[in-house]
Every structure is written in structure tokens, then in C-alpha cells.
Amino acid sequence: MSGHSKWSTIKRKKAAEDAKRGKLFTKLGREIEIAAREGPDPEANFRLRLAVEKARAANMPKENIERAIRRGAGLEKGVALEEIVFEGYGPHGVAMLVETLTDNRNRTVAEVRRAFTRAGGSLGESGCVAWQFETKGYLTIVLNDQDPDKILELAIEAGADDVEISDNLVEIYTLPEDFQWVRDFMAARGIEFETAELAKVPKTLITLGPKETLQNMHLMEALEELDDVQRVYSNLNLTDEVLAQVEVEA
């Protein structure tokens, strides 16, 4: 399993607790609102459709979803949200991209910088690490009793760029322009996705010792705890040794 999916797996374990605090719904609502700026109809707006499906999967109330769509489409008054991507380095040179949605740029800059500084990292200039990542369509499927070879064949037929199969998970990567087609092609054939999004995927991974890896994981967790942060990407390789330690601490 790649470092990308391992981190996603760890985050999913905390999703229920985030939902209890309402933080998850707030972030999902902002994502819907931004997507709805491109049109309020999920059938005609693929980005909005993905955001709505993600919210439904998290059991976000229907009225919350509809309200976020109306705000984004300008049909209901709301705060002005801005998308900002921060770039920086975690401890020991790990590259990180931090995607945020905020109604107060100064607050968000200060909070993100503080999180990096406290962890022994540093917030960098625009462009300092972005070149180490590429945008790809990212789809994951939990196998359970499904045949991985059948899913692999469907992914190849749909035009996937790469497929990784490990443990109980299939990861499918696509070119950005092929993402919607591959997702819809497979969904029409009964495939259900646990994750379906455009993601920043590192071109290469950096492997550190357990202690240094955990330092970076704690930074990523601290960043994701911030209300304005939507996603955190890094080029950190999560080894099985570190994951075993995380399981013990959980």
C-alpha cells in the first residue's frame, strides 16, 4: 500500500470523532460551497457531485448539503471563502502541501505557520515544493469479497494510468482529464469507491526512521485539526514499522 493510502487510512479512523465535533461537516460544507460556484446542479457539475457524495457518505444532513450549495451558488448569503495552498517542509525535509478554504487569510496564514514552527518545520514560499507533486485522479476500492483481477481489468479498460493492489485495497490513479470518465465507467459496472478525488500525489517518497516519521505525522495531524485546512499532502513514506507503532498509540 502506498504512503498516500496509508495516511488516508489513518485519517479515516478519526473521521467518526471529527463528525461528533461537527468539524468534519464544516469542512465538507465548505468544499461543497466552493464547488457550487461552478454551478448548483451536481449532475452538470462533476466537482460538486463528488463533494456531495463525500458528504452523504459521512452522513451529513441533507439540509446542510442543500444550504451549502445555495451559498456557493449565491442563492443564500454566506461568508466569502478563498482557496489558498500553502507549501512547506516538515522536520527532516519532508515536503508538504496544505490546501485550505478560509474566510480570513491572515488567521489561516498565522495558524498554519504556527503549526509548522512548533513541529520543527517551516512554511515556505509558493513553488518551493509544489514541483514534487502531480495532480492525479485517485480512486480506492475496498475489496472485501471482490475479485481484484476483475477490478484491475475494468480499470485498464477504462483507461486508468496506474493500479496498485495490496491487502484489502485497490488504488487506481488516472490522468486528471480521465478521472471523471474512469470513475463513471467503473461505477456504471457496479464498482463502489471508498475514495474518489483529484489528489496531489508525490513523484517520489522520502523514508525516515520511526521517530522522525512520527514527528512529521504529528505535524500533519496538527495541520488537519485546523478549521481552515481541507487536505494535507506529503512525500513521506509510511513504513509498516511506523504504522505498527501508530496502532499501539491509538
What sign has the CA pseudo-torsion 43, 228, 14, 237? positive
Cell numbers 456557493 correspond to: 72
Instruction: Assign a CATH topology to domain 83-131+204-249.
Output: Alpha-Beta Plaits (3.30.70)
Please name the residues in contact with 3: beta carbons below 8 A apart, sequence gap of 6 or more: 202, 205, 234, 235, 236, 237, 238
Q: Round the average pLDDT of the chain to a whole number and report it.
A: 89
**Which residue, chain included where needed, has cell 513521506?**
236
* pLDDT score recorded for residue 194: 87
Asked if residue 164 has pLDDT above 80, the reply is yes
* Residues forming a β-bridge with 95: 89
Whole-angstrom Cα distance, residue 166 to residue 181?
24
Q: Which residue, among 48, 11, 31, 18, has the nearest Cα to 102 in the 3D structure?
A: 31
Give just the sign of the alpha carbon dihedral 171, 172, 175, 178.
negative
Q: pLDDT category, 1, cuts 50, 70, 90?
A: very low
- Mean pLDDT along residues 172-189: 95
Percent of the chain with pLDDT over 70: 90
> 133-202 has which CATH code?
3.30.70.980
As beta bridge partners, residue 199 has 136
Q: Where in the chain is the domain with CATH 3.30.70.980?
A: 83-131+204-249, 133-202
CA distance linking residue 173 with residue 160, whole number of Å: 6
Structure confidence by residue, pLDDT tens digits, 212-249: 999 999 999 999 999 999 999 999 998 777 777 766 55
Task: Check if the beta carbon of residue 186 is closer than 8 Å to that of residue 155.
Answer: yes
Are 139 and 195 contacting, i.e. CB atoms less than 8 angstroms apart? yes
Please provide residue 68's backbone torsions phi and psi, each rounded to the nearest 5 degrees: -65, -40
Backbone angles phi, psi at 200, to 5 degrees: -95, 110
Please report, for residues 13, 123, 135, the alpha-carbon distance to residue 17 in angstroms, rounded to integers and kept in the order given. 8, 28, 29
Tell which wins on pLDDT, 22 or 153. 153
pLDDT digits (tens, 9 = 90+) for 41-95: 999 999 999 999 999 988 899 999 999 999 999 988 878 899 999 999 999 999 9
- Alpha-carbon distance of 183 to 186, in angstroms, equals 5
pLDDT 10s digits, 117-130: 999 999 999 999 99
- Judge whether residue 29 has pLDDT over 80: yes
What kind of fold does domain 3-72 have according to CATH?
A: Arc Repressor Mutant, subunit A (1.10.10)
Please name the residue that has the C-alpha cell 445555495: 70
Question: 102-118, pLDDT tens digit by residue?
Answer: 999 999 999 999 999 99
pTM of the entire predicted model: 0.87
CATH 1.10.10.200 positions along the chain are 3-72
